[in-house]
Amino acid sequence: MTEPGLNKTTFEAIVEYNPNALLVLGGDGNITYSNQKGETLFGYSKNELKGQPVQLLFPRHFDNQSQFRKMFFEGADTRRELTASKKGGTDFTVETGLTEMDAHDGAVILLSITDITDRVNREATIKKQLTELKVAGNYLEQLAYISAHDIKNPIITLDDLVNELLRSKDLKADDMQLLKMQQKVIAQMRKTNKGINDILKLRQGLLVKESADSGQMTLGAIIGNITDTLRADIENTNTSLKVNLNGLSDIQFPYLYLQSAFYNLITNAIKYRKPGRDPLITFDANRIDERTYRFVVTDNGLGFDMATNKGHLFGIFKRFHPKIEGTGLGLHIVKSIVDAYGGEIVVNSEVDKGTTFDIILKNPILAQ
């Protein structure tokens, strides 16, 4: 089988020093040979590997031979992306390729294994950056919207008012009308100012997102911060805030983004309370699985009509109670935060009964 110029020793060296791990498996699926890279990749010596079933290296995928064969020989392509385990149990991601061949002493399987941890990490980084880009794009869209609605609008009207004012002078309009117009000019100025403030708030929302990865805090501390900040409001409005963390008080979360979302929901619950009824707000935290958490915020406030508002509950400038001061940004920010972390938010509300926000999201910080 040797090519001209390449002797058997050279061929053996090509296998032994191949940059990919190469394993030879017997017909029974036990390892009969590993090259050097196989040793360094998995942390076992050649002797330790010899005679071991191949599932030792892929315990997350199969624990017996037939599963192994089924996995590889189903479909035309025998290349797979798998989680492998080093000696000691550390997982890493590999790409495997496999060939079955007839050797002179019976059928053997040649398994080639490449460590693709770096590639997988790079892909994860790109995915994360794409998500961030999407969020940033979303904010930009909102910014354009705010510019059009909250700043452009008052300026157009201001311009129109001033034109009318000047025209009225020519026409010697009565003083009451002039006074009324002057008052409206001032009111428009204030709206312009408020529009600028809203843009600053939106920018703040973006900063919250940017710093989401920078710091972590326990759930207990996050809720503590919010209740401290809102203490005066809670006392002034006679609000009962019942917090049930259900043993999750010590779990670490990226604090700034969660804090911002919960803060918005709890301040809304206080702000849109039902007159004549003491606000009762509950905050419940539950763990669904290792990474997934559920947070439910319930109030007994004004509520809103679900039928009328369906489909655009979280739209920018969506306001349910025009007579109560607000920017229509709060829920939009909550939704953007939940979206950014691939979570879901569901709202249920009934007029005069109250509102429930149900959030499910994955904690990017793995619990210790």
Partner 1 sequence: MSLRKVLLIDDDDAVNFLNRRKLKDFDPECEVIEAIDGQEALNYLAETDSCPDVILLDLNMPGLDGFGFLKKYEEMGKCCNESRVFVFIVTSSLREEDKVKAVTSGLVNGYFEKPLSENQIKIINRLFSN
Residues that bind partner 1 (CB under 8 A): 148-149, 152-154, 156-157, 159-161, 164, 180, 184, 187-188, 308, 317-320, 322, 328
In angstroms, the Cα distances linking 278 to 113, 159, 265, 274 are 65, 45, 17, 8
Q: Least distance to partner 1 from the beta carbon of 153, Å?
A: 5
Instruction: Name the residue among 324, 327, 325, 343 with its Cα closest to residue 335.
Output: 343
In this complex, which beta carbon is closest to partner 1, that of residue 8 or of residue 312? 312
Residue 149 Cβ vs partner 1, minimum distance, rounded to whole Å: 5
One-letter identity of residue 292: T
Which residue has 């700043």 as its token pair? 151
Q: Which residue, 180 or 242, has its beta carbon nearer to partner 1?
A: 180
Residue with tokens 């090509």: 14
CB of 148 to partner 1, least distance (A): 5
Question: Which positions ≥6 away from 238 have C-beta within 8 Å?
Answer: 278, 279
186 touches 154 (CB < 8 A): no
Residue 42 CB neighbours (<10 A): 24
What beta strand segments (E) does 48-172 contain? Answer: 80-85, 91-103, 106-115
CB nearer to partner 1: pick between 86 and 167: 167
Q: Which is nearer to partner 1, 33 or 317 (CB)?
A: 317
- Quote the CA–CA distance of 208 and 202 in Å, as a whole number: 10
Nearer to partner 1, 165 or 243 (CB): 165
Between CA 269 and CA 277 the distance in angstroms is 13
CB half-sphere exposure, 170, CA atoms < 13 A? 6
Q: Which residues have a Cβ under 8 Å from the Cβ of 55 and sit 6 or more positions away?
A: 29, 61, 62, 63, 64, 65, 67, 68
Shortest reach from residue 157's CB to partner 1, in Å: 5
Q: Please state the closest distance from residue 188 (CB atom) to partner 1, in A.
A: 6
Element (H, E) at 74: none
Shortest separation between residue 139's beta carbon and partner 1, angstroms: 17
CB of 127 or CB of 152, closer to partner 1? 152
Q: Which is closer to partner 1, CB of 8 or CB of 310?
A: 310
Strand partners, 99: 110
- Picking from 332, 139, 283, the residue whose alpha carbon sits closest to that of residue 320 is 332
Q: Are 290 and 250 in contact (CB under 8 A)?
A: no
Q: Nearest approach, Cβ of 147 to partner 1 (angstroms)?
A: 9
Q: Using the minimum distance from each CB to partner 1, give the nearer residue, 141 or 278.
A: 141
Q: Name which of 81 and 160 has its Cβ closer to partner 1.
A: 160
Q: How far is the CB of 177 from partner 1 (least distance, A)?
A: 9
Please report how close the Cβ of residue 136 comes to partner 1 at its closest, in angstroms.
20
Measure the CA–CA gap between 292 and 96, rounded to whole angstroms: 31
